[in-house]
Homo-oligomer: A and B are copies of this chain.
Amino acid sequence: MASDNASPATSGHVRPEIDVCALTALLDGEYAEVRDLVRANLTTHASVLDDADELGVDAFRERVREIVVDMAATGQTGMGFPRAHGGGGDVGASIAAFETLAFGDLSVLVKVGVQFGLFGGAILHLGTERHHDAYLPDLVTGRLMGCFAMTETGHGSNVQALGTVARYDAASQEFVITTQGDQARKDYIGNAARHAELAVVFAQLDVGGTSQGVHAFVVPVRAGGEPAPGVRIEDDGRKMGLNGVDNGRLWFDGVRVPREALLNRFADVTSEGVYTSPIENPNRRFFTMLGTLVQGRVSVGGAGVNVAKVALTIATKYAVRRRQFEATADAEEQLLLDYGLHQRRLLPLIARTYALHFAQDVVRTQLHDVFSGAEDDPHARRRLESRAAGTKALGTWHATRVVQECREACGGAGYLAVNRFAALKSDSDVFTTFEGDNHVLLQLVAKGLLTDHASEFEDLDQLGMVRYVTGLALETIIEKTSAHKLLERVRDLLPGGDAWDREAGLLDSEYQLAMVRYREEHMLAGVARRLKRGIDQKRDPGAVFSQVQDHVIALAHAHVERLVLEAFVDRVRAQPEGGNKVALGLLCDLFALSTIEADRAWFMEHGRLTVQRSKAISREVNDLCRRIRPLAVDLVDAWGIPPEMLRAPDLVG
């Protein structure tokens, strides 16, 4: 940010004074109250961090369940449900609560997500009044536990192809649910191995011999602790982490449920066996149903960002206590964070964490607006779904990367379980996979960018670019997004003409934004051109896609990073003058320039960065690290992580 003290040299800069409480208030935003409730609940149940190490799997699962039920009693976990059914009636607050919960034990977090987000969310969004009345009151308190049985062994990310079948038997007015072959077993289902009484089961609906695609049904899977008749349950066993969540497998052998068990908001079957739906196009219907589940992705992305905060807080506090090697024979050993390399390792990650936090604010607000009806139209939904997919991918990869870097930055001490990294690492690892594999999600983002130029194709399958590149639809899209047009748009992005970006100040946020916007538009044009060439040459669509796939992922990544930078810049600009604004400006510059630096090869390859300027950016990143170094502790303190969650007595002491 070009802020008050943006002169290029380090020396002479005035160190901004950070008002930590005010910064926490800014970060907590409108949900400060529910976040503080969660902080209090986390502190009350802080002993769960020890339990996770010390209890066996069975006992720990029970402990986690108890905590989830206790937390539910405080209202924390039900914020997203209607007040009429015991909830808080505030979708945004429910996401904020979930994000904050990620400061603590992550089995508790994921159990909350399974029970109230996935299971509860499916009942709420796919069901109608009869389901709401029957299940929501007990579900919101945690008295009634359920699971969300979508994923199958044979089909992880390709939900539309799943193999479980629900056949309508008009004679008995029942659905008969059957697992067709072992690849169709439901797998990795949270709450299934132990606690769920009900399951929301996704199955291919068969009415009178016609398949109507994937629909969801409420199916009792357990009664009095025993599997229901026709239901087989297997425990997934020990996992890398999250062992307080009872993941399991489910098989259904002709399990009968009444006609009313169909979650019928978007489709129904009459007692006579006639299939009806207000949404005519089956693809659109499927993605409308799936779209209601977007809050899971928004939740997990935000949780990833907060996991990163915990790791960075511990590593930063350690780095300002720990000394290593003397500078001179008589001197004290240097503090870790005074080493340039250590600054390089931690501070850009702190900057990126702030950036992702503000980007999360945007997607949470969009979610709230769509689901509260404030702004709910197809365009807003599409925008939300794309953004949720993208921030989930970047937020969870960020968590994995940050936890690893912070563990290594704490040396052998970081390896002891008592110092939290063990749990953070093993528990958060799967975030990159669940609620949608990150690579698949980025493909979805890229597809959205292409279809934005050809809106009539919005109904195409949204999972899997492969089918997307098949056949006619693609050709039309390519015409609409001709490389020519896109390159015109790219040029429009450079306000001062072609030479502008060689002269602008590196700390000018308009320059930084122009760079990441240019990258995105250029990549979009490149992907479109490559796809079109493949089609023109009548090559095998699978082979075409395979060859363009890395460009597709890079495009989506560039798109999301642009959104993240825009969110950060907007927030900094909106701040009142003062130390906090200066500090956030430095962080925003560090995020922008370290992002450009990380991809500087691309910018050089595409004529947007000279060799001299590329080197200047690296120097500026180092300089920003030195300027942010004295602010590091305030910046992590502002995240407001309860000290009990940091554990790590020897590291943060």
Contact = CB atoms under 8 A, between A and B. Distances in A.
Interface of A: 53-54, 56, 151, 153, 156-158, 161, 187-188, 236-241, 324-329, 331, 333-334, 338-341, 343-344, 400, 404, 407-408, 411-412, 414-418, 421-422, 425-426, 429-430, 432-434, 437-439, 463-464, 466-467, 470-471, 540-542, 545-550, 553, 600-601, 604-607, 611, 614-615, 622, 650
Nearest to A414: B433
Contact of A467 (B241, B329, B416): B329
A546 B426 contact: no
Given A157-B324, A412-B188, A412-B434, A622 B425 contact: no
Given A340-B549, A412-B430, 12 more contacts: A53-B238, A156-B411, A161-B326, A187-B412, A188-B412, A239-B416, A339-B545, A404-B429, A407-B429, A411-B433, A601-B604, A604-B605
A551 to B, nearest CB: 9
Contacts of A339: 545-546, 549
Nearest to A467: B326
A236 B338 CA distance: 29
10 closest A-B pairs by CB:
A327-B542, A240-B422, A601-B601, A238-B417, A325-B464, A340-B546, A341-B549, A340-B549, A415-B430, A188-B412
A25 to B, nearest CB: 34
Oligomer copy total: 2
A422 B325 CA distance: 35
Given A158-B325, A328-B541, A412-B187, A611 B604 contact: yes
A137 to B, nearest CB: 32
Nearest to A238: B417
A148 to B, nearest CB: 14
B542 A156 contact: no
B412 A327 contact: no
B418 A237 contact: yes
Given A432-B408, A546-B339, A240 B417 contact: yes
10 contacts: A56-B56, A161-B326, A237-B418, A239-B417, A240-B425, A324-B464, A328-B467, A334-B542, A339-B546, A601-B601
Contacts of A650: 153
Contacts of A546: 334, 338-341, 343
A421 B240 contact: yes
A422 B429 CA distance: 10
Contacts of A412: 151, 156, 187-188, 430, 433-434
A237 B416 CA distance: 7
Contacts of A430: 412, 415
Given A240-B422, A415-B433, A437-B411, A553 B341 contact: yes
Contacts of A331: 542
Contact of A604 (B151, B327, B604): B604
